[in-house]
Chains A and B, each alone.
Chain A
Amino acid sequence: MPSFEDFKPFFVTGLSLGGVYALSGTGIVVLYRATGVLNLAFGAVGAMGALISWALINHTSANQYVAYAVCILFGGIVTLAYGIIFGPPLAGRDPLVKAVGTLGLALILLGFMSWFWPPKSRSMFLPTSNSGYQIGIVHVTWTQIIGLVAAVVVTIGTGAFLRFTRLGTAMRALADDREIAATLGVPVRRVEAVAWLGSGLLAGTAGLLLSDLVALDAVTLTFLVISSLAAALIARLQSLVVTLFAGIVIGLVDALITPILSISTYRDMTPFVLATIGLLWISRRRVVSVGRAGT
């Protein structure tokens, strides 16, 4: 059994990764509450943004900060475009149908990614990974700090946005009851567009950070969405604060298992196991009931 000292660096990794999971989780939760769409292409969008960034940096003379901005913007624009084009036709359908739609988007993105960027070793090296702090024997990069801090900032910011701004209140109304919100004059399409754009920007940001913290690989980044999904599910797709804590815990569990060698081969299973727990948790409910409590 490794000593406490051995765990320390993984502690740092876990916190920063967990922060990014929480960040993504927030994007997933807010979008789901506002539109009923569980965006399973969240990771794929970030992955493609990161690959575009990489291409800009390594194959053009573009300024690297522009490239990073492109990644984040790509996330926002593609997600927004999907929401505008496929949101309305699927609006009245079951959440399952809406989620399968995002699987379609994920396939499109995965297809393009493996077409233009055949599997090869690539890496993303953010400038913030150059420097950092030294805590004891552990080196913490700025990227890792950003991962955690961004999560906290986004959670607080989104919470404040939802609570104190008009648009945020409209979004909460939409989440509560779409039909009534519409009759109350809430600009449904506009509010949804904001949710799509916001969640897309978060996807781009998460993609950028994860490409540095984990790997720049299309499939890996796409399926990292499962960890974020687990966090969102444990929060019952509702509470931002729970998403934050759940994300961080998931990141920690994921990382801290690595030094425990005997199960590290199965470490990759952690996100799946945690997401399964999240799904069972969110589905605790009573017996089948028919319709509303009416007559």
Chain B
Amino acid sequence: MIAVEELTVRFGGVTPIDSMTVSFTDGTCGLIGPNGAGKTTFFNVLSGFVRPASGSITAFDRDLLSMADYRRARWGLRRTFQTEQAIEQLSVYENVAMIHEHSRTQRSSRRRAVLGALEFVGLAAGSDEKVGTLSARDRRLVEVARAVVGEPRLILLDEPAAGMPEEETLHLADVIRRIPENVGALTILVDHDMSLVSSCCTTTAVLDFGKLIALGPTSEVLRDEHVIRAYLGTEEVEAEA
């Protein structure tokens, strides 16, 4: 469970996040909003890259903001980025193992954990191949594998389906849906693909101009008038029940 209290971020004369108060409970929560709403900034605050002007974040009874950025992964924070950040020079195996070796010290469980994560995302490529040689789909899956390995507590997925064709998005949705049961982490999903959000997330929060404008069961939120208006011109989406 993550409780965000009065979070405010300011830089360069802009206020990307403005007194945001929201709670995320178990399962998978969507976080949507038009461009510039503050979603990635929020993720950056959680990752420790952006220091908020005020406010607090309590994650599983820990004050997250007081933790050093690199320590959060050890604590159990995982994150994917809008542009895949899997390390191209390293192999698939090394990419996932790296997350494990920097957050846990038991080498004995490592191979099993890494291979388990790779299998979970359904990666077709051999684990010895360098990530730089893989297709975009496989690179993205390596990123997701990095996000689920090693008993994470909080997974942040930042537009994982960006630029993906429909078929691959469906596969990704399947993987994300299996996270709560198999990995047991609280997942926050940011994406513009509403069908992905509605098929994976039980609840959804909506940001606009750094403020929270809606929070609730996904199907209700996606039909909310305020939300639709905030997207300005986006057609009404038929949410998959």
Contact = CB atoms under 8 A, between A and B. Distances in A.
Categorize the interface residue count of chain B: 20 to 34
Interface in B35-84: 35-41, 44, 48-51, 69, 81-82
Nearest to B35: A295
A294 B51 contact: no
A288 interface: yes
A91 to B, nearest CB: 22
Contacts of A289: 11, 44, 49-50
A294 B40 contact: yes
A290 B41 CA distance: 9
Contacts of A290: 40, 44, 49, 81
B50 A287 contact: yes
A59 interface: no
B232 interface: no
A293 interface: yes
Nearest to B83: A291
Contact of B51 (A287, A291, A293, A295): A287
A286 interface: yes
Given A293-B11, A293-B14, A293-B41, A288 B49 contact: yes
Contacts, number: 40
B110 to A, nearest CB: 28
A290 B49 CA distance: 7
Contacts of B33: 295
Contacts of A287: 48-51, 69
Interface string B1-41: 00000000001101010000000000000000101111111
Contacts of B81: 290
Given A287-B69, A290-B44, A290-B81, A295 B37 contact: yes
Interface residues of A, dominant DSSP:
loop
Interface residues of A, number: 9
Interface in A271-294: 286-291, 293-294
Interface string B213-231: 0000000000000000000
B40 A291 contact: yes
Contacts of A294: 35-36, 40
A83 B54 CA distance: 47
Contacts of A286: 11, 50-51
B40 A295 contact: yes
Contacts of B159: 295
A138 B49 CA distance: 57
B213 to A, nearest CB: 15
A286 B44 CA distance: 13
A294 B44 CA distance: 12
Nearest to B33: A295
B7 to A, nearest CB: 15
B50 A295 contact: no
Nearest to B85: A290
Nearest to B13: A293
A294 to B, nearest CB: 6
Output the residue of A288, A289, A293, A294 with the most chain B CB within 10 A: A293
Top 8 A-B pairs ranked by shortest CB distance?
A295-B40, A295-B39, A288-B49, A287-B51, A293-B16, A289-B49, A295-B35, A290-B49
Given A290-B44, A291-B40, A295-B36, 12 more contacts: A286-B51, A287-B48, A287-B49, A287-B50, A287-B69, A289-B49, A291-B82, A294-B35, A294-B36, A295-B39, A295-B41, A295-B82
Interface of A: 286-291, 293-295
6 contacts: A287-B49, A287-B69, A289-B49, A289-B50, A291-B40, A294-B36
